Amino acid sequence: MDTETRTYVTGDREVVLDLTRDCADFAAGRGDGLLNLFVPHATAGLAILETGAGSDDDLLAALADLLPADDRWRHRHGSRGHGRAHVMPALIPPYATVPMLGGQLALGTWQSLCLVDLNVDNPERDVRFSFLT
């Protein structure tokens, strides 16, 4: 197994960050296998979805509807509504696995691998890339 950890700056806003190019670069030329991504954070997740056509903003809007940034959360440190970021990984897990065929990501035409981060209190996120044969 070949593994690498990369750090991404997500800043002080909620974000859907497209990692597809980094995934393709990491796995290029490795042949057939599985690319596994893992976010070792309690308040971030990984999603496979279309980006650039509004779906990333739609995802953030849906999460805002499902998990409002208000004072209902029992987990209450950090910014207002911070507890919602701790619930989000139950909906958007901290892992994703994609098949690799001939050293290429076997994603559908409009699919992208994305980091989803609702935690505005932590501006950096680590993502572990692992190639499994």
Name the percent of the chain lying above pLDDT 70: 100
Report the pLDDT averaged over residues 41-54. Answer: 94
Report pLDDT for 37.
98
Sequence spans of domains, the chain: 2-132
What percent of the chain shows pLDDT beyond 90? Answer: 80
CATH superfamily of 2-132: YjbQ-like (2.60.120.460)
Select from 3, 99, 13 the least CA-distant residue to 48: 99
Residues 6+ apart with CB under 8 A from 93: 45, 46
DSSP 8-state secondary structure symbol assigned to residue 81? T
What was the pLDDT predicted at 52?
87
The reported pLDDT for the residue numbered 47 is 98
Could you write out the DSSP letters of every residue in 5-54? EEEEE-TTS-EEEE-HHHHHHHHTT--SEEEEEE---TTEEEEEE--SSS
C-beta of residue 99 within 8 angstroms of C-beta of residue 18? no
**pLDDT at site 70:** 87
Residue range 56-76: mean pLDDT, rounded: 90
Sorted by sequence, the CB contacts under 8 Å of residue 28 that are 6+ apart come out as 103, 104
pLDDT of residue 110: 95
The pLDDT of residue 83:
86
Query: What's the whole-number mean pLDDT along residues 106-110?
Result: 95
